[in-house]
Amino acid sequence: MLRKYLALSRSTHGVLDIAMPGFAALLWLGHFPSWPVLAVALLTAVAGYTALYALNDIIGVRVDREKFAGAGPNPGYSVEASDLRYPIAQGKLSLGRGIAWFVVWYAVAVAGAWWLNPWLLPVVLAAPVLETIYCLLFKLSWWRVLVSGCVKALGPVAAVLAVIPEPSPAWLALMVAWLIAWEIGGQNIPADWNDVEEDRRVGARTIPLVFGPRIAGRVVLVALCVTVLLSLALPVMSPLALGWPYRLASLVIGGYLLLVPAVALLRSHEGRRAARLFDRASLYPLAQLVLILVFVLIG
């Protein structure tokens, strides 16, 4: 039974995503926070991502049932390749139990946010609202990609607020722009590309469907080029001495995990290339976390 709940919350992908708030906190703080803060922040992040991924499937259950009527979900990408994907839509988990799972984890996230910094509450409260808007725009507008980017940026923003009471708004905006570009080019469009046939059957308005593979491929590459370029400016918000060694390492990470598979997708327009890009881009937060950890430890 637990596997069904973990599949509802896309636990593998969620664990990878949690690396991004960890990276953001260490980047801004320059050292590890106290153990109580670290423990509560980690629990809050796990709870938040677990709740939001579950909410995505709960809100989109009707559309998911339409998409996979007569056939199960396509094989997908390796980080979300379980046969239990979309367990509510597949009838393997009841909607009521899914809602209960979301409520419990969201309550934990709210409580943890309050303990860390009451100013985190607007961020935590905004997350399910934006996620709901994102799901409801599925058949209405491709502009939902911007909403998706904002949702993905909330976790790292919350992590910064947990350790830095009054962060610079300009630097925070720079980090958010970096995160939105990564989400659009490395996650959202590739995921929609991978599901393009199912989405076409239900009349979805995604970028690959509205504009076609050629334009979608260009948008992906431009977004990820912006991601890599903005990553070179991130050291400005850190008290650590992150010079060109850090920037060069970040450039290599971005080139390998983002730009190389993006160029391959642009050239081939193949769904499997989109899936490969999604997988590589999903490792980007973890790679950035490992990189900043190195500089924190030697600093």
pLDDT in tens, 106-149: 999 999 999 999 989 999 999 999 999 999 999 999 999 999 99
- Whether 79 has a pLDDT exceeding 60, the answer reads no
**Domains of the chain: total:** 1
The two structure tokens encoding residue 228: 């890599």
The two structure tokens encoding residue 290: 């490992």
Cβ atoms < 10 Å from Cβ of 285: 24
State how far Cα 254 lies from the chain centre: 16
State how far Cα 140 lies from the chain centre: 22
- Mean pLDDT value across the chain: 91
- Give the pLDDT score at 158: 96
Which residues form the domain of 249? Answer: 2-298
| Long-range Cβ contacts of 174-178 (<8 Å, 24+ apart) | 174/230, 174/233, 174/234, 174/236, 174/237, 175/24, 175/234, 175/237, 176/150, 177/226, 177/230, 178/227, 178/230, 178/231, 178/234
Measured CA to CA, the distance from residue 26 to residue 48 in angstroms comes to: 19
Burial environment of residue 48 by CB neighbours within 10 A (0 to 12, 13 to 18, 19 or more):
buried
Q: How confident is the model at residue 70 (pLDDT cuts 50, 70, 90)?
A: low
Nearest in space to 126 (alpha carbons), one of 140, 106, 143: 106
Whichever domain contains 122, its CATH number is 1.10.357.140
pLDDT digits (tens, 9 = 90+) for 23-34: 999 999 999 999
Cβ atoms < 10 Å from Cβ of 297: 9
